[in-house]
């Protein structure tokens, strides 16, 4: 009986987390001044196996990163590639395709071996493609991080992120 209950809990967990998927990532880099700067970031990002294609908007220093389906996505690897190119991440927005997901204040969801903790989120149902912003240190500016620092749950868990809608 105990095994059946554990199996049911595991199945419920996986069905709750596999209802949706990442669509794309919008990355704004800090410190870009020219097309050569964006080229160095683009070159670094292309080495990540889970990235399908990358679009660049030089006016906004933004990269639109389209992700391969059924691939593990490592947002910390994206951040490290930007830093390897000599720049920093000013913001990282993930576009996720939700399917009737109930969000409560300070709740969390898991997908593709990553856990996302909602911070400053009101009660709502998410449906369709919804962007969320990773607000951990290194994913936003120092000024913005200071704004959220009191709300952020410290974690040293790999692939765990604090986010806001």
| pLDDT tens for each residue of 138-147 | 999 999 999 9
Alpha helices in 64-125 (DSSP H): 75-84
C-alpha to C-alpha distance for 75 and 79, rounded to whole angstroms: 6
Name the percent of the chain lying above pLDDT 90: 56
Residue 57 pairs with which residues in a beta bridge? 62
pLDDT, tens digit (0-9, with 9 covering 90-100), for 56-112: 998 888 999 999 988 899 999 999 999 999 999 999 999 999 999 999 877 889 988
Class of domain 2-164: alpha beta
Spatial separation of the C-alpha atoms in residues 1 and 141, rounded to whole Å: 51
Distance CA 71, CA 73 (A): 6
Q: What residue segments make up the domains of the chain, in order of their start?
A: 2-164
CB 97 within 8 A of CB 147: no
Residue 84: name the closest of 136, 48, 35 by CA.
48
Choose among 40, 110, 108: nearest CA to 73: 110
What pTM was computed for the model? 0.82
Tokens of 158: 């790999």
Helix (H, G, I), strand (E, B) or coil at 25: strand
Alpha helices in 18-151 (DSSP H): 35-45, 75-84, 142-148
Instruction: Evaluate whether 64 touches 55 at the Cβ level (below 8 Å).
Output: yes
């Amino acid at each position: 009986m105990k095994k059946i209950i554990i199996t049911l809990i595991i199945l419920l967990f996986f069905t709750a987390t596999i209802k949706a998927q990442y669509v794309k990532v919008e990355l704004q880099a800090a410190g870009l001044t020219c097309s050569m700067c964006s080229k160095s970031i683009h070159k670094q990002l292309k080495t990540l196996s889970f990235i399908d294609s990358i679009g660049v908007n030089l006016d906004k220093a933004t990269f639109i990163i389209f992700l391969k389906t059924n691939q593990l996505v490592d947002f910390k690897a994206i951040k490290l590639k930007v830093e390897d190119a000599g720049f920093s991440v000013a913001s990282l927005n993930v576009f996720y395709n939700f399917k009737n997901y109930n969000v409560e204040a300070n709740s969390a969801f898991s997908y593709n071996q990553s856990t996302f903790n909602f911070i400053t989120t009101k009660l709502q149902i998410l449906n369709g493609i919804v962007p969320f912003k990773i607000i951990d240190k290194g994913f936003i500016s120092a000024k913005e991080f200071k704004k959220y620092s009191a709300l952020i749950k410290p974690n040293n868990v790999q692939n765990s992120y604090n986010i806001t809608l």
